[in-house]
Amino acid sequence: MWGGDHRGIYTVKSSYKSLMGTINGSEVVNGVDFWLGVWNLGIRPSVKNFLWRAALDILLTTCNLNKRRVPISLTCSVCGGFKEDVHHVLLSCSTTAACWAEARVEALSGDQGSFVDWLGGLFKQSTKNKMEVVAMIAWNIWNNRNSIVWKNQAKFPYQVVNYAKSHLQAWKQARNRRLSIPNGAVSTDMNQWSRLEIGYV
Ligand SMILES: [Zn+2]
């Protein structure tokens, strides 16, 4: 499913419409919890966007590339043992499961639930702070996979988790400094953060 608008542009608004359409169509049991939960998190907008793309099943996994008629093997690019769909990439691939174990977050095995159901369930039982960390870890798991596939560079699970936490802390500190600045002023700290952030994208 593609979540872009009529011009094919993927926006927060079109993500919302598409996700709500999925909920109304109603296969996503925890969809509302998922949507409201993500909306309220104090994380970078690009990470929220990543979670919505994961929920809408449009991350560029080998399964989704195949749906777009890219002639590519369905097998996971990292472990080589299973079909590479969103569930496998973000929950059950061996490298992914090791990251969730490092963070002491219970993930799902290959034959359990969907990513949306899993995250929606976590929102029901976890604090906002914990969910912000979970969101950042999921995003860093995805980035680490891309580094493995495209650069042949892998982080250890503890590095993925620590990087997610330190990135979240740095982003929150930068945001808080920005919020405390009088109207129109631009701080030196935010200029430094902007340069730092470019390296993360
Ligand atoms: Zn795998």
The answer to the question of residue 12 being in a domain is no
| Average pLDDT of the residues in 185-193 | 44
The answer to the question of residue 186 being in a domain is yes
**Which residues lie near ion ligand 1 (Cβ < 5 Å)?**
76, 78-79, 93
| Average pLDDT of the residues in 157-164 | 97
The answer to the question of residue 103 being in a domain is yes
200 CA to centre of ligand 1 in angstroms: 24
186 CA to centre of ligand 1 in angstroms: 44
The answer to the question of residue 91 being in a domain is yes
The answer to the question of residue 30 being in a domain is no
- pLDDT classification of 106: cutoffs 50, 70, 90: confident
% of the chain beyond a pLDDT of 70: 72
* Residue 171 pLDDT greater than 60, yes or no: yes
Cβ contacts of 10 within 8 Å, gap of 6 or more: 3, 4, 49, 53
9 CA to centre of ligand 1 in angstroms: 30
The answer to the question of residue 173 being in a domain is yes
81 CA to centre of ligand 1 in angstroms: 6
Structural domain count, the chain: 1
CB contact at 8 A, 7 and 89: no
Task: Provide the residue type at 191 as one letter.
Answer: N
The answer to the question of residue 175 being in a domain is yes
Residue 159 belongs to domain spanning: 62-200
- Look at the block and give the residue holding tokens 């359990």: 112
